[in-house]
Amino acid sequence: MDSCEVLIVGGGPAGSSCARRLREAGIDTVILDKATFPRDKVCGGWITPAVVEELGIDLTEYAGGRVLQPITSFRTGKIGGAEVATDYGRAVSYGVRRFEFDEYLLRRCGARLMLGEALCNVEREGDAWVVNREIRARLLIGAGGHFCPVARYLGASARNEEAVAAQEIEFEMNAEEREACAIRAEAPELYFCEDLKGYGWCFRKENFLNIGLGRLDAHSLPVHVSKFVQWLKQSGKLAFDLPASMRGHAYLIFREAKRKIVGDGVLLIGDAAGLAYSQSGEGIRPAIESGLLAAKAIVAANGEYTRERLDVYRGMLASRFDEGRPDWATRVGQKLPARLMHSVAGFLLGTQWFSRSVVLDQWFLHADVPALDC
């Protein structure tokens, strides 16, 4: 039977970031993923500069043969309402294709890879884990996304959680579609639903177009998605039919996540732990940061992977991601009757100041949260 010190289930951004840091510390690490890479992931593929800094990505090298779309401005508003253009005059985010980004991170992380193999069986033998009756590990990390089997092992039940449900499509536009698409590549468009329980986006990355909508209320998702797509067409942003149906996925925002994330010889990172930012749903940065924090806790545990030794990781997550009291805009919104709140929000979303200072700087760019230094 093969063996390793740490087995990471899931080779997305969380798993590969954690693995890279563990390998740098000389820890024998294996990543098991049910997919063969490159693989697609339902996602907008919007990353903030902190991600680039935390992973030391050389953007010039990355852009060689891959899509890397600098984002310098935005159009925001309410679906069907007034639109506000905000220009930063410099790159404040980037658009990537997860098909390429995740493969890039995985191949450079230095871990041994077991790809195309799902975790089917996990057993505790003494103070080690035996996975798929094939590999023994002293520490097991769940990085398998929202439906991670290691999270289930720790008691998570995705069915009983209040998750963000989202649908998305990404495709390469042909010449005719490019001509019929009014979305500018450097200016993604974000539009909130009438009841503010979610938002839709239309995001062009070079010749690729990514359209989607996510909501905290899964039941009405298909209705909102189809209204959004219809509105994109009516408003002249998109003068062609989407080439295929959208694909759906779910994830937890940190405020709503109640998963157990640490146990004896086991911990969760990324979407498996439920860490996405509550206003924007950005999950790539929290996934990467949790991977780096977990690696720090593991190195400090010095081979003693008891729950007590690993629990420091839980504290690190709480101080990094607990947004504490919601921001003032959310607090005011919670106090107002729904109808009044909708019209106040509609008004604010139509103003230049609110769009830039609150929606973009605070909710989407986290301009005031420096990159993780660890």
Ligand X SMILES: Cc1cc2nc3c(=O)[nH]c(=O)nc-3n(C[C@H](O)[C@H](O)[C@H](O)COP(=O)(O)OP(=O)(O)OC[C@H]3O[C@@H](n4cnc5c(N)ncnc54)[C@H](O)[C@@H]3O)c2cc1C
Contacts of residue 229, Cβ cutoff 8 Å, sequence gap at least 6: 211, 238, 242
Strand segments (E) across 92-235: 93-96, 112-115, 122-125, 128-131, 135-142, 164-172, 189-192, 198-205, 208-215
Q: Computed from CA positions of residues 286, 288, 290, 292, in that sequence, does the dihedral angle turn out positive or negative?
A: negative
In the complex with ligand X, the residue whose CB is nearer, 22 or 333, is 22
Near ligand X in 214-253, by CB under 6 A: 214, 249, 251
In the complex with ligand X, the residue whose CB is nearer, 177 or 282, is 282
In the complex with ligand X, the residue whose CB is nearer, 145 or 263, is 145
Q: Is 77 in the site for ligand X (CB under 6 A)?
A: no
In the complex with ligand X, the residue whose CB is nearer, 39 or 309, is 39
**Closest approach of ligand X to the CB of residue 17, in Å:** 8
- Residue closest to ligand X (Cβ): 283
- What single DSSP character describes residue 372? P
Tokens of 125: 């033998």
Q: Is 198 in the site for ligand X (CB under 6 A)?
A: no
Q: Is 50 in the site for ligand X (CB under 6 A)?
A: no
Cβ(282)–Cβ(305) below 8 Å: no
Selected from 5, 23, 28, 35, the binder of ligand X by CB under 6 A is: 35
Q: Is 21 in the site for ligand X (CB under 6 A)?
A: no
Selected from 185, 196, 287, 317, the binder of ligand X by CB under 6 A is: 287
Selected from 41, 75, 138, 205, the binder of ligand X by CB under 6 A is: 41
Q: Is 200 in the site for ligand X (CB under 6 A)?
A: no
Contacts of residue 324, Cβ cutoff 8 Å, sequence gap at least 6: none
Q: Is 18 in the site for ligand X (CB under 6 A)?
A: no
The whole-angstrom separation of Cα 307 and Cα 297 is 11
The whole-angstrom separation of Cα 295 and Cα 285 is 15
Partners of residue 89 on adjacent β-strands: none
- What single DSSP character describes residue 199? E
Contacts of residue 341, Cβ cutoff 8 Å, sequence gap at least 6: 196, 333
Selected from 166, 193, 225, 295, the binder of ligand X by CB under 6 A is: 166
Q: Is 284 in the site for ligand X (CB under 6 A)?
A: yes
Selected from 144, 188, 198, 274, the binder of ligand X by CB under 6 A is: 144
Selected from 23, 34, 66, 366, the binder of ligand X by CB under 6 A is: 34
Selected from 19, 27, 32, 232, the binder of ligand X by CB under 6 A is: 32
The whole-angstrom separation of Cα 211 and Cα 225 is 10
- What single DSSP character describes residue 276? B
Near ligand X in 168-197, by CB under 6 A: 168
Cβ(186)–Cβ(92) below 8 Å: no
Selected from 4, 7, 15, 92, the binder of ligand X by CB under 6 A is: 15
Q: Is 33 in the site for ligand X (CB under 6 A)?
A: yes
Q: How many residues bind ligand X (CB under 6 A)?
A: 40
In the complex with ligand X, the residue whose CB is nearer, 43 or 297, is 43
* Phi, then psi, of 23 in degrees rounded to 5: -65, -40
- What single DSSP character describes residue 252? -
* Phi, then psi, of 79 in degrees rounded to 5: -55, 125
Residue ranges in contact with ligand X by CB under 6 A: 9-15, 32-35, 41-46, 118-119, 143-145, 148-149, 166, 168, 212, 214, 249, 251, 270-272, 276, 281-285, 287
